[in-house]
Chain A
Amino acid sequence: MAVHEYKCPCCGGAIAFDSATQKMKCPFCDTEFDVESLKGYDADLNDEGTDKLEWDTKAGTQWTEDEETGLRTYICKSCGGAIVGDANTAATECPFCGNHAIVMEQFKGALKPDYVIPFKLDKEAAKAKYKEHLNKFLLPKVFKDENHIDEIKGIYVPFWLFDADADADIRYRATRVRMWSDSRYDYTETSYYSVYRAGDIGFEHVPVDGSSRMPDDLMESVEPYDFSQAVDFQTAYLSGYFADKYDVDADSSVNRANERVKATTEDAFADTVNGYATVIPENTSVRLSNGKSKYAFYPVWLMNTTYNGEKYIFAMNGQTGKFVGNLPTDKGKFWGFTALITAVIGALIYGGMWLFQLL
């Protein structure tokens, strides 16, 4: 299979996208190039044929069918090394020479992304955010002091972006409560209302993770992304980062988009029902029109570590810097401080009871 990389016109070194300058930059001679200026070059590269390098070797055994379906081998154009990746790796790094490689074969037969939001934050920013993220009171000290990140990867994650107009009519059961008293009784009057709201609301660029390898909750947790900074997709942006192509198609992602659109539609119309003690939706009807989807690559810094045999995955939004990832709890500290606070509050309450008696 063919891999693709950008060579520096000055020195021939492999160049990569630099998130700080938002340009292509050669790490060897520091020459910078506009992404736009590489468009033609990119088109030329796309027209290139693939190498055919056949070897007649009998060494080794055949992959089993199960193994073979999930693996792909790519040849690095710089050093000729074999890069083994999985079926969805679209951009990667050669383990032999470190060149950033874009696997053009992976885009063939699949949809080309419509948009990409380029990385705005680099690996150092991700490391700094990780340290900041660990600054939690109940985090085990050993996790903070001795833990090392196994790997930090900048990954372009495939997302389906859904646009739609939602027509909704929603009926709520609402109550108002009035209370009064006379000398003998307390009275409570509960009035019941049927509240009806109808209207429309528009959504744009609702993202749904298109990669089954990325945990959906992790990807939704790094949201939101600012789509105004998205640009037309060019492979040049992938250089220097990893990338996955989608393996969950748009049709399979529609259900999640529907859930999110429906939930927000209900919330938005519920906000227009004011002046009631309780508001409970009884019937909701949401109809979508002008629905369409786009395919985009969104930037994510991904890192993981292992603690007490359990794997912890962290993600940072490569555009906004929002950092997420669940952390372990120091159970000893949790119960110790629970006991301490119990003692202090319990003693204060008990002391208050005594004071009430004394004064």
Chain B
Amino acid sequence: MTKRITALAFAIILLISLALVPASAAEASYTVKLDDSAELLSDSEESKLLATMQEVSDACGCNVVFITTKDLTGASFSFNGTADDYAFRYYETTCGVNVDGLLVYVTLKDEGGKRKVGVFGTGKCEKRLTNKESEDIRNEAISKHSPDTHSYYDFLNSIALGLKEAVPPHLKWYMLPIAIGIGFFLAFVIMNSMKKKLITVAMEHGAANYVRAGSMNVTQSRDTYLYSTVTRTEKPKNNGGSSHSSGGGSYSGGSSNF
């Protein structure tokens, strides 16, 4: 009996886990666009980067848009003058507002005249790509594949590979033991409540059943204030969950000069 139940339990875990493993997104149709207006890549590099971007799109099940621009002039859409907003409006014009996607831009001259790279997620990718992950991907590319010493292809390819690793739906290895631990705790509480039904013999706490009806009489009642204490706790700072908004869509991630 116990063995059968245990076997059934593990079968259920296995089946549900397998059923919930994300299916390949290959069947869905997503936009994969590389706009190299700054002409930083050769044709062959563009082809190789597009192939990597396609892999990212397949793995993440979302649009992938990479933009390079010399500066923020010549836009066919309105934006608030910042490089980030330029990229957001570009993406929304291409794919739509809050449509699942990853957005990477490199501008050689941002609103402050400096070179800048931005890595963002929107739609379902907004929660999958945290600000910290975006920052790590940018830092990795800047420190190890800087276009000053490497090519822009290496730089952008490093970002694409970073996105391919960070953004696809995945759970940390310890999530399964945590889920089973919570399940065991709840199961133990449920089963113990059933077990308690088998125990019906106990000493009475008091004599509440034998209070003479209407006999209780409160003759004195005083509530005296003594003192107060106030404790102050600093609110946790939000690092990784904040969103950028272009006035249209909502994005996670960030940008940095390099």
The residues of A with any CB-CB pair to B shorter than 8 Å are: 136-139, 165, 169, 174, 181, 183-207, 215-218, 220-221, 223-224, 257, 260-264, 267-269, 272, 323-329, 332-351, 353-355, 357-359
Contact = CB atoms under 8 A, between A and B. Distances in A.
Contact of B210 (A203, A342, A347): A203
B6 A199 contact: no
A332 B182 CA distance: 21
B227 A192 contact: yes
Contact of A260 (B200, B204, B218, B229): B204
Nearest to A322: B200
A264 B169 CA distance: 58
Contact of A190 (B208, B209, B229): B229
B75 interface: no
Interface residues of B, number: 71
Contacts of A139: 198
B183 A341 contact: yes
A357 B128 CA distance: 7
Contacts of B228: 189-192
A342 B232 contact: no
B201 A326 contact: yes
Contacts of B24: none
11 contacts: A138-B195, A184-B235, A190-B228, A191-B226, A191-B227, A268-B208, A268-B216, A343-B13, A346-B180, A349-B182, A350-B16
B194 A137 contact: yes
Nearest to A328: B198
B218 A354 contact: no
Contacts of A261: 206-207
A330 B200 CA distance: 17
Given A202-B211, A268-B216, A328-B198, 15 more contacts: A136-B197, A181-B235, A190-B230, A197-B218, A199-B218, A201-B211, A263-B205, A326-B201, A337-B5, A345-B182, A347-B16, A347-B17, A350-B16, A354-B22, A357-B170
Interface string B187-200: 11011001101111
B206 A335 contact: no
Nearest to A264: B206
B1 interface: yes
A221 B225 CA distance: 41
A193 B223 CA distance: 7
B2 A336 contact: yes
Given A342-B184, A346-B182, A354 B20 contact: yes
B231 interface: yes
Given A185-B235, A186-B232, A197-B220, A340 B8 contact: yes
B109 interface: no
Given A346-B183, A353-B179, A202 B212 contact: yes
Nearest to A226: B209
B238 to A, nearest CB: 13
Contacts of A323: 200
